[in-house]
Structure 1
C-alpha cells in the first residue's frame, strides 16, 4: 500500500472541498445567516416591544450559528484539510516514522523500535515520484538509511551505508575492508540475541571515525549463500571467504549490523541513489522497552 499516494489523494480532495467552502459555500451560508437575522429583527419590530422575544440576543446567535454550520460532507472533508496538509508536508519533507520489523540491525535497532527518519538531510524529494528537488548533503559511510528495496520498491528497508560510489568493499572471513583498508573493530562481551535465543559475538566497529556495534555468529559460514541476480552483479566476486564488490556510480553498498542475520547488498546488490528515503536517527518509542527512546548511531 502506497501511503504517500493515499495521503496525497486525501490532500487534493479535502483541499478542493476547503477551497470550494471558502469561495462558494461559506459566503452563501453567511448571506443566509444575515438574511435570517434580518428577518428575525423585522418580525420583532412588527410585534412590538410588548410581544418581543425577551431572549432576542440568544435567538439571533442561535439563528446565525445554525445557518453558518457546515453540512456533514464539508465537515468531514474541508475541516480536515489543514490537518492532513500538515501531516503530508511533515511526512514528505521533514520526518517520517517507521517501525523496525526484523532483527537485521541488531544491536543498533531492535524489533519493535519505532524510529524517525530525516527526509531533508540528503536533499528534498517530491513524494510519490521520489524526484530530488534540492541537493542536500551526500550520504556518508556509517549512516543508517531507509531506502526502497531495489527488488520491490513498495517495500522499505533499513541498513547501514558501507560503500559509496567507487568504493571497493570486501567482506571476507567476517572482516570488512574498504578500498584495501581493514575497518577497525574491538571485541565486546558476547551479546544475547533474543530473536535467535542465543549468543553472538559483538564488536565495536569504527567506520570513518564513527563507532557502532555489530554482531557475528561464529557457527554461520563466511560464504554468501543464496545471492540473487541484480544489476551490476559483474562488479562483485563471490568466493569461499565472502564477497568483494566495486560500488558503481550513483549506487551504495548497504549492510545490516547483525551481519550473519541480514539480507543486504551481499545478496541483492546495490541501492541506487533514487531509492534513498532518508537518514534514520531517533527511536521515539518501543512499547516493550521505554529505555530504547533516544538518538542512535
Structure 2
C-alpha cells in the first residue's frame, strides 16, 4: 500500500522548484543584460543635453538616442573608451558624417568628454563667420530671419533674441539663434581650413557655444572621435526639474518633444 506523502517528503521538491525558479530568473536577467549591452555598444546609446549650445534644436533636459552604426565604429564608439588599454585608430564600416548632422563626439582635447554639435564643415572646406553670417568656401550661407526666440541672457534673465532659418549647402535647413546679435565673440573669425579626415562642428546657439571656432578648446574634430548621430528625443523635462521625481511629470515633462526626430 502506498503511504501518504509527508511534509518532509515535500520539502526537497519545494526547494528544488525554488532553485530552478531562481536559476531561470538569473538566466533571463543575464540575457536581458547582454541584449542591453549589445544594443548600447553597437546600435543606440542614450545621451542627455546638459547645456544650451544647440538651442533651439535641443534644449537642456532633452534625452536622446544616438545611433552608433551611422558612422561605423572606432575606439571612441565603445563604452568607457578612455579606459581601454590599447590605442586603436581608424573605423570599421565607416560612413562619413554629412553636413547638417547633429553628432556626438569625444572632445579632441582629452578624447574622453562627450560633446554634441552640428556638422558644419567637411574635410577641405574653408569656414568663416562674417558679421554673424556663416560662410563656406567663400559663399555666404543663406539665413532667413523669423520670429524672435525666448531664452535667457548670460545672467539668466529672460530675453527675446534674433532667430533664423539657416540653409546649409546640400539643403539641410535648421534654426539658429544669435543671443548677442551679430556682434558676439565668434561672429567674426579667421578663415578655418578643415584638415583631411577632420570636421568643423558648431552649435545652433551661435553666441553660447564652445565649438570648432575655438581652436584651443575644441578645434577640428577627427573622424575617429565621432561616437554617433543624434536621431530622436525619447524624453524631455524642464530645465532644473528632476527626471526621477515622477510625481511631477504631468507638469515638468515636455510632452510635445517626446519622440521628435532630430534635424
Structure 1 residues not aligned, in runs of 5+? 1-47, 225-239
Distance in 1 (CA, whole Å) between partners of 2:121 and 2:115 is 16
Distance in 2 (CA, whole Å) between partners of 1:244 and 1:133 is 29
Q: SS at the partner of 1:83?
A: helix
Distance in 2 (CA, whole Å) between partners of 1:241 and 1:139 is 26
- Shift of residue 124, structure 1, vs aligned partner: 3.1
- Shift of residue 79, structure 1, vs aligned partner: 5.9
Please, which of 82, 92, 108 is the counterpart of residue 150 of structure 1? Answer: 108
Bigger drift between 210-219 and 255-264 goes to 210-219
Match of 1:163 in 2: 121
Is the CA contact 1:172–1:222 (under 8 Å) kept in the aligned structure 2? no
TM normalised by structure 1 equals 0.70
Is the CA contact 2:74–2:224 (under 8 Å) kept in the aligned structure 1? no
Match of 1:214 in 2: 176
Runs of 4+ in 1 over 4 A off after TM superposition: 54-60, 66-71, 129-133
Mapping 1:199-238, distance limit 5 Å: 199-207=160-168, 208-218=170-180, 221-224=183-186
Is the CA contact 2:180–2:207 (under 8 Å) kept in the aligned structure 1? no
Match of 2:146 in 1: 188
Match of 1:118 in 2: 67
TM normalised by structure 2 equals 0.78
Bigger proportion of residues as helix: 1
Structure 2 residues not aligned, in runs of 5+? 239-253
Match of 2:249 in 1: none
Bigger drift between 124-133 and 54-63 goes to 54-63
- Shift of residue 296, structure 1, vs aligned partner: 2.1
Distance in 2 (CA, whole Å) between partners of 1:136 and 1:206 is 26
Distance in 1 (CA, whole Å) between partners of 2:19 and 2:93 is 51
Q: CA RMSD in A?
A: 2.8
Distance change in 2, residues 1:53/1:90 (3 Å):
same
Match of 2:243 in 1: none
- Shift of residue 99, structure 1, vs aligned partner: 0.4
Please, which of 197, 221, 245 is the counterpart of residue 192 of structure 2? Answer: 245
- The answer to whether the aligner puts 1:52 opposite 2:13 as a matched pair is no
